[in-house]
Amino acid sequence: MRGGRARLRTRAETGNITQRKKGTHDMGYTVAVLGATGAVGREILNILAEREFPADAVYALASGRSHGKRVTYGEDSELTIQDVGEFDFRGVDIVLSSPGSKVSAEYAPKAAEAGAVVIDNTSHFRMEPDVPLIVPEVNPGALAGYTKRGIVANPNCSTIQMVLALKPLHELATIRRVVVSTYQATSGSGKAAMDELFNQTRGIYMNEPAQPQEYPKQIAFNAIPHIDSFMDDGSTKEEWKMVHETRKILDPDVRVAPTCVRIATFIGHGESLNVEFEDEIDETSAADALREFPGISVVDHREDGGYVTPYECAGEDAVFISRLRRDPTVDNGLAFWCVSDNLRKGAALNTVQIAELLVEQHLR
């Protein structure tokens, strides 16, 4: 293992681990990753290893269909998938959960009741008032609220990169209103959606008709202005998430007008933002504030190729800001382009960063 860490123990080697008191972790924490066979779950395992999270035991959990399969953990280790339905959460300190809302709704409370802190990547708990919704760089102080339920929510992927970009600007000049259009990759819908894009693209070159299954229309060579289900007011649930999650994380007075679009890419979400401020703001001070903020990289050259695309951000941890410029249609306005790897900062990385903050500030 990297860094000379001890080989991870398995449940069979340790027997039933009894819950240890907080502050007695001489070697590390016991971590369970729920939804370990999914794209986000696999990325969580990779990032735990990459960042050398202080774990002396990691368990990979999924449904009974995946029991006994193997998933990678780091460069030279594998974990055996265990059936979450048979798993004993006693003795687990932290659960990183990304199995889908229905599964999380069932097992997150069970894990919390057993003494674990659950960091949930699904939408199920996000808007519950007694569950903190956390982007560590933006609202770390809200994490203290985890003690109410033993559950912490990870925001929606499109929300995470947006509020990270907005936070330093909000501190600088107070945001009044945000108009945002998203360009979201198929990985946000899961592996089956990525496969659909691949198969449709290949089929078109072979003169085969596209057969949409995961999406309501052909995704290959297309853009679909529809993510999640439609609501009564004509918006979609994805757009609703961006509005209300931003208010919960950043500021309840910030108004957000989103249009969320699925595009024919595999990884990396793009967002085009027009932001109106209460106070005067200029491009230079905005760029300086963004550059100094953790987790943000400003790549903005006013020349051909002087910006970052979704394809280029895949595998990267940062939220990239480009095309920063004045919006002349309002008194105090800026426009910019924002991209991020939706599987990393938009999901798995943010989840692990919450766990790191939890360990650093609360579980010692």
Q: Is 9 annotated as a binding residue?
A: no
Q: Is 180 annotated as a binding residue?
A: no
Looking at the DSSP bridge assignments, the partners of residue 80 are 70
N-to-C CA span, the chain: 24
From 124, 157, 313, 338, active-site residue: 157
Q: What's the angle, vertex CA 316, arms to CA 359 and CA 38, rounded to 5?
A: 70
**Residue 313 annotated to the active site:** no
Q: Is 262 annotated as a binding residue?
A: yes
Q: Is 188 annotated as a binding residue?
A: yes
Q: Is 126 annotated as a binding residue?
A: yes
Q: Is 55 annotated as a binding residue?
A: no
**Residue 269 annotated to the active site:** yes
From 170, 260, 269, 313, active-site residue: 269
Q: Is 174 annotated as a binding residue?
A: no
Q: Is 342 annotated as a binding residue?
A: yes
Going by the annotation, the residues of the binding site for phosphate are: 126
Going by the annotation, the residues of the binding site are: 37-40, 65-66, 126, 184, 187-188, 209, 262, 342
Going by the annotation, the residues of the binding site for NADP(+) are: 37-40, 65-66, 187-188, 209, 342
Going by the annotation, the residues of the binding site for substrate are: 184, 262
Q: Report the catalytic residues.
A: 157, 269
